[in-house]
């Protein structure tokens, strides 16, 4: 009888130990332990105080992280893929907490010195994300890291300029791959002359329209909005002014 009691105690201890330690997950890279918040309905009115994942954040991850050799589907470096809301969340995003969001810490070089050089994203020689881009991602996380989408029908095409209309789109969707330090396919979209060069060949519009015979851009992502594509075409039709 005594031996049975001892056996039961050991079994109970083993179950408790397994529950406490055996199912513990790394809360960061690809842990699969992140609870995905429910997806809110698309917003028909874009609020300037809200960061929308599909419009503002996902393009940054796709352009800067989901590259060949890094976190695209084919490579999945360290088991991390960053091409959708679910995969981004599973890569180490903790809603309302940038400090616990490993993927954010890796982009800012944070983590209290606990990150290895190989963990810094994007890795050299790729350029780091800009301060404005990091602030956008941080704001999204602090707002709950929701899978938000704005489908506002408004499109201001009355005063299209390279600086105010095109550069923000290029910075969000393109320069992560096509930067001056590491230009994919030798295409640099960080300068006016670089954008003009690819526009003159027809490759710019062919790629962003994802036409047959052209490499569809953004790579691995959804096509640019109808409004964004129209802004590029208007700029070209107006003679590609540098202003």
Cβ atoms within 10 Å, residue 216? 16
Q: Are 37 and 146 in contact (CB under 8 A)?
A: yes
Whole-angstrom distance, CA of residue 69 vs CA of residue 72: 7
Whole-structure pTM value: 0.61
Domain that holds residue 115: 53-142
**H or E, element range at 137:** helix 131-142
Host H or E run for residue 171: helix 167-173
Tokens matching residue 60: 């940054």
1 belongs to a structural domain? no
Q: In total, how many domains does the chain have?
A: 2
Contact yes or no for 24/18 (Cβ under 8 A) = no
Peptide bond into 166 cis (omega under 30): no
Do 200 and 233 lie in one domain? The reply is: yes
- Note whether residue 35 is domain-resident: no
Q: Are residues 103 and 58 in the same domain?
A: yes
Residue 227 lies in a domain: yes
Q: Considering the domain boundaries, does residue 26 fall inside one? A: no
For residue 38, the 8-state DSSP code is: P
Residue 128 and residue 166 in one domain: no
Identify the H or E element spanning 168.
helix 167-173
Contacts of 191 (CB under 8 A, 6+ apart): 180
**Could you read off the pLDDT tens digit of each residue along the chain, which spans 243 residues?**
545 444 444 444 443 433 333 323 333 344 445 667 888 887 777 888 999 998 889 888 888 887 778 887 888 888 888 888 999 999 889 999 999 998 899 998 865 445 555 567 888 778 888 899 999 999 999 999 999 988 765 677 888 999 999 998 998 888 878 887 767 888 989 999 999 999 999 999 999 998 888 988 887 777 888 888 889 999 999 999 998
Residue 150 bridge partners (DSSP): 43
Q: Are 94 and 34 contacting, i.e. CB atoms less than 8 angstroms apart?
A: yes
């Amino acid at each position: 009888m005594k031996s049975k009691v001892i056996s039961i105690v050991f079994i109970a201890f083993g179950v408790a130990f397994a529950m406490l330690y055996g199912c513990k997950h790394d809360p960061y890279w690809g842990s699969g332990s992140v609870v995905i918040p429910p997806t809110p309905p698309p917003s028909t009115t874009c609020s300037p105080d809200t960061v929308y994942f599909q419009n503002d954040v996902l393009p940054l991850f796709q352009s800067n992280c989901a590259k060949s050799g890094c976190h695209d589907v084919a490579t999945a470096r360290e088991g991390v893929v960053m091409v959708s809301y679910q995969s981004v969340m599973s890569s180490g995003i903790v809603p309302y907490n940038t400090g616990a969001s490993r993927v954010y810490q890796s982009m800012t070089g944070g983590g209290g010195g606990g990150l290895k050089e190989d963990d810094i994203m994007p890795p050299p020689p790729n350029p780091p994300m800009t301060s404005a881009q990091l602030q956008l991602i941080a704001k999204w996380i602090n707002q709950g890291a929701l899978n938000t989408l704005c489908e506002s029908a408004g499109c201001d095409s009355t005063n299209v300029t390279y600086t105010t209309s095109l550069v923000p789109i290029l910075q969000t969707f393109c320069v992560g791959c096509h930067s001056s330090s590491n230009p994919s396919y030798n295409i640099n979209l960080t300068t006016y002359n670089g954008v003009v060069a690819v526009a003159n060949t027809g490759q710019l519009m062919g790629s962003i329209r994802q036409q047959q015979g052209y490499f569809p851009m953004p790579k691995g992502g959804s096509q640019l909005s109808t409004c964004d594509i129209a802004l590029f075409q208007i700029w070209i039709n107006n003679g590609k002014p540098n202003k």
